[in-house]
Amino acid sequence: MTWFFWAFLAAIAAAATTILAKIGVSGVPSTTATAVRTVVILLMSWGIVFAMGEHKTLSRVPARSLLFLVLSGLATGVSWLAYFRALQMAPASVVSPIDKLSLPLTIILAALLLRESVNWQVALGVAMMTLGGLVIWYWSPTA
């Protein structure tokens, strides 16, 4: 299977995550909801690691990789906590487009920090994604 398959599967799962989380945070503190979700992900991911025998490679993870994975985990935690709180305060149809401004931000950061190339078509896409998120936010009845 190609990277596109996995990326599209991630998009479908992320969409389902939003709807399921919006229902799940009803009447539950957002931090508690995030903690429950995190435990599920923790158990699922370690289960897969052990099932595939990849736990044997843990001792060979370079320190630099470990550092950046820990930092990524911290960023994920902040993202999830903020996302669940936002879902408690506004409709998923408004929260999700703002959250998905992470897409153009990722492309910009990848160009600046990772030196990934950005042609005019990608720059146009970034502008359109940003504009789309802001249009939904600005004209939302809950804005």
Which pLDDT value is given to residue 137? 87
Taking only the tens of pLDDT, the chain with its 143 residues reads 899 999 999 999 999 999 999 999 999 999 999 999 999 999 999 999 999 999 999 999 999 999 999 999 999 999 999 999 999 999 999 999 999 999 999 999 999 999 999 999 999 999 999 999 999 988 887 75
Which pLDDT value is given to residue 122? 96
> How far, in Å, are 14, 79, 103, 143 from residue 129 at the CA level?
17, 19, 8, 18
**Angstrom distance (rounded) from CA 103 to CA 11:** 12
Query: How many Cα atoms are found within 13 Å in the side-chain-facing hemisphere of 125?
Result: 11
Which pLDDT value is given to residue 143? 57
Structure tokens at 70: 């820990």
**Angstrom distance (rounded) from CA 55 to CA 38:** 20
